Amino acid sequence: MELRHLKYFLKLAEELSFVRAADKLFISQPPLSRQIKELETELGATLFERNNKRVILTDAGKYYQKEILELIQNLERINATTKKISENQSGEFRIAYVSSTFSGDISALIQFLSAQYPFVNFRLYEVPTVKQIAALEEGKIDFGIIRAPLHSPKIDSRLWYKDSFSLVFNRNKYNITSEEDLVHLKEETFVFFNKQYAPYFYDSLLEICAQYGFKPKVVHESNNISSIIQLVKNGLGISIVPTAIMKSHNYPELEFLELKKAHHFTDILLVTPKGNPSEISKLAIQFLTKQNLKDEY
């Protein structure tokens, strides 16, 4: 007896028609009839009563259907559990994120995944978008959190959330109360991301300033959002950052002014190598999506 005998039996028991069952199984009717006959011969029991008009289960067939259904369900559960155990025992899972996303969400994700997969060694890397894309294409990381745009046929993506932009400044040094005040900032010192580090992000910030009628005087550049915030906090300049930054850098010296009139947004994407993502990646996407929905309410 082979597993296919059981699957053929269950399909015929469901359809009660050799023609329909064979069609659903993508085989012709004679092989199906032969497989069912072989099963009945091995069992020494008649499972179906059949004539030219109908096919019905015998009492023995009804009992066998109930037991085999339970057996197949248990087998599927065993297979799924075996796969999970194997994943739990497999080395490491590498996650990368851009520094301008909320670190609290990343910490919560690692805590959640570690509880679900206690035998996996989760490695966390702060990596800019451009380098993350290359690392995903080369299989050097398993899961990424990047900023759009993404142009790669080797990577699957899902929108995590859309983020607006905010002006951030030291409230003890600058008196900025509304978006109309931005036009007076053309002579002020600005702190931005390094253009080579985050070219699209850098260009977006220049576009925002242009919308408010000035070109920023960029004096300080950094590759890290924490460094940018620290410079602003110390009164060494002004910056424009993703609004979500205020959740993790809410210092008393800082003031955030959301730039609503700019109508400029940045998409945060959850990315995996092309194809079917791992179970861990699916769980990570599910967790982060739910976290974002909680933050909205």
| Residues 74-87, mean pLDDT to the nearest whole number | 71
| Residues 122-129, mean pLDDT to the nearest whole number | 90
Instruction: Enter the CATH code of domain 165-264.
Output: 3.40.190.10
Q: pLDDT category, 297, cuts 50, 70, 90?
A: very low
Give 129-173 pLDDT, tens digit per residue. Answer: 889 999 998 888 999 999 888 989 889 999 999 989 999 999 999
Please state the domain extents for the chain. Answer: 3-87, 91-156+267-296, 165-264
Contacts of 43 (CB under 8 A, 6+ apart): 64
Instruction: Enter the CATH code of domain 3-87.
Output: 1.10.10.10
For the domain with range 91-156+267-296, which CATH number is right: 3.90.1570.30, 3.40.50.1980, 3.40.50.300, 3.40.190.10?
3.40.190.10
Closest by CA position to 60, among listed 135, 110, 9, 95: 9
Alpha helices in the chain (DSSP H): 3-15, 18-25, 29-43, 59-88, 103-116, 129-137, 199-211, 225-233, 279-296
What single-letter amino acid sits at 4?
R
Mean pLDDT of the chain: 87
Calpha distance 105→239 (Å, rounded): 23
Whether residue 261 is predicted with pLDDT greater than 60 in this model: the reply is yes
Tell me whether domains 3-87 and 91-156+267-296 share a fold: no
Whether residue 103 is predicted with pLDDT greater than 60 in this model: the reply is yes
Task: Using CB atoms within 10 Å of the CB of residue 271, give its burial: 0 to 12 exposed, 13 to 18 middle, 19+ buried.
Answer: buried
What tokens does 140 get? Answer: 């050097």
Q: pLDDT category, 186, cuts 50, 70, 90?
A: confident
pTM here is 0.60
Residue whose tokens read 């609004």: 243
Q: Of all residues in the chain, what percent carry a pLDDT higher than 70?
A: 94
Calpha distance 226→218 (Å, rounded): 17
| Residues 87-96, mean pLDDT to the nearest whole number | 74
Give 10-26 pLDDT, tens digit per residue. Answer: 999 999 999 899 999 99
Whether residue 73 is predicted with pLDDT greater than 90 in this model: the reply is no
Angle, helix 129-137 to helix 199-211, in steps of 10 degrees: 150
Q: pLDDT category, 111, cuts 50, 70, 90?
A: very high
